[in-house]
Amino acid sequence: MLAFAEKVVSGLDQLDCIVIGAGVVGLAIARALGQAGLETVVVERNAHIGEETSSRNSEVIHAGIYYPAGSRKALSCVAGRDMLYAYCDSHNVPHRRCGKLIVASSDAQVEKLDAIEEKARANGVDDLERLSKVQALDMEPALNVVAALHSPSTGVIDSHAYMLSLLGEAEDAGVMVAFGVGVKSIQPTGEGCAITLEGDDAPSVRARIIVNAAGLGAVKLAHAIEGFPRERIPHAYLAKGSYFTLSGKSPFSRLIYPVPEQGGLGVHLTLDLGGQARFGPDVEWVETPNLDVDPARGARFYDAIRRYWPELKDGVLAPGYAGLRPKIAGPGEPDADFVISGPDRHGVPGLINLFGIESPGLTASLALADEVAALALSAG
């Protein structure tokens, strides 16, 4: 770590940009900054890219259906979806535009489909198709369905391949990425910020622009910024989601989502690029990070899944993996929007904080990166 810091500061007064966090959003930001001609370094506390939220999700390319109209989530998801498909096509990133069905499994849920469709159209999602029971069963005969919405713009992606591609392009643009490098504190200098790295006698590294894209650690890192207004820092919550995998072949060729429930989108069925089905996530609010999957939670999965797939057999679900979402709204509260907070909002020159970048952060990553890069260029 000390050698890295000495290498970075050697012969330099200060860098243009430092991005903290090498998840999918941090990598997309670093790529955008490097390609804009800004001398950029990424610091990541873990040993590899995307070890936290970015590697423990459903790998779904979202259409932009569920978010409040005009929100940053809605705008960045819809724009980012199109950018991401184009990127995958041009960079040979494995993906599949498989589509999904949002399923009403009872008459009481049909009205909710109307609200979902209305919200989606307000967000610019104009390709949703309303399906009758017969039409839905023609697509997916194994369903218990009264009516459904078909989203042809939903897909799946190899998220690791995508992050590797972003990393390669960032490095081609001159971006340096340092792993195993934690940040102890940030000190505003009036013309940017200085970062003190973790470790004994570690020197400070200065940059005109600091981007806090630390994901699960973003709120904690904001508290380590000297003199930063505390009223501009949201409260951090951790929402754990567990996934279970299906043994054997899935009868479905598309993603299957139930009508959303409070706190999440329900236990939905997703497919990886090999066709393996997995179910989740559920929502479990936790105080400390814990990525173990409790096999006992499987009983709740069976109950939830059988509402839309009644033929699910006993004993075919196995614990898969768990992920954590960096929430900034707690249990029972309305979902919070993505927060990108620059100097115009908090008054610290050169500092850009990203808070609450959970789902659909993967889908929105390129759009969010463009927004942050525009902020950085205007601040510089």
Classify strands 155-157 and 95-96 as parallel, antiparallel or unpaired: antiparallel
Segment 229-254 shows an average pLDDT of 95
Q: Which of 135-139, 200-204, 326-330 has the lowest mean pLDDT?
A: 200-204
Q: What is the mean pLDDT of residues 134-139?
A: 98
Give the integer Cα–Cα distance in Å for 255 and 59.
12
DSSP 32-64: HHHHTT--EEEEESSSSTT-SGGGSS--EE--S
145, 103 contact by CB (below 8 A): yes
Specify the pTM: 0.95
Q: How confident is the model at residue 236 (pLDDT cuts 50, 70, 90)?
A: very high
Residue 380 has pLDDT above 80, yes or no: no
What kind and span of H or E run contains 246? Answer: strand 237-246
362, 80 Cβ separation under 8 angstroms: no
Q: What is the pLDDT of residue 265?
A: 65
Domain chopping of the chain, boundaries: 2-55+160-235+335-379, 100-152+237-327
pLDDT in tens, 57-107: 999 999 999 999 999 999 999 999 999 999 999 999 999 999 999 999 999
With a cut of 60, say whether residue 1 has pLDDT above it.
Answer: no
- pLDDT at position 285 is 95
Pairwise pLDDT comparison (47 vs 201), residue with the higher score: 47
Read off the pLDDT of residues 292-303 as tens digits, 9 standing for 90 and up.
999 999 999 999
Segment 308-322, tens digit of pLDDT: 999 999 999 999 999
Spell out the alpha helix ranges (H) of 193-339: 218-222, 298-305
CATH class of the region 2-55+160-235+335-379: alpha beta
Band of residue 351 on the pLDDT scale cut at 50, 70, 90: very high
Is the pLDDT assigned to residue 11 strictly greater than 60? no
SS3 labels along 256-287? EEECCECCECCCEEEECCCCCEEEECCCEEEC
The per-residue pLDDT of the chain, averaged, comes to: 93
- Binning pLDDT at 50, 70 and 90, where does residue 14 land? confident
Give me the pLDDT at residue 29, please.
98
Strand 339-341 with 100-104, pairing: unpaired
CB crowding 247-273: b at 16 or more within 10 Å, else e: eeebebebbbbbbbeeebbbbbbbbee
Percent of the chain whose pLDDT exceeds 90: 88
Q: Which fold has domain 100-152+237-327?
A: D-Amino Acid Oxidase; Chain A, domain 2 (3.30.9)
Whether the Cβ atoms of residue 174 and residue 78 lie closer than 8 Å to each other = no
Provide the pLDDT for residue 313: 96
Q: What is the pLDDT of residue 38?
A: 97
Burial class of residue 287, CB neighbours in 10 A (0-12, 13-18, 19+): exposed
Please report how the helices 24-35 and 361-379 are oriented relative to each other, as an axis angle in degrees rounded to 10: 40
Nearest to 274 by CA among 308, 317, 245: 245
SS3 180: coil
CA-nearest of 217, 207, 234 to 19 is 207
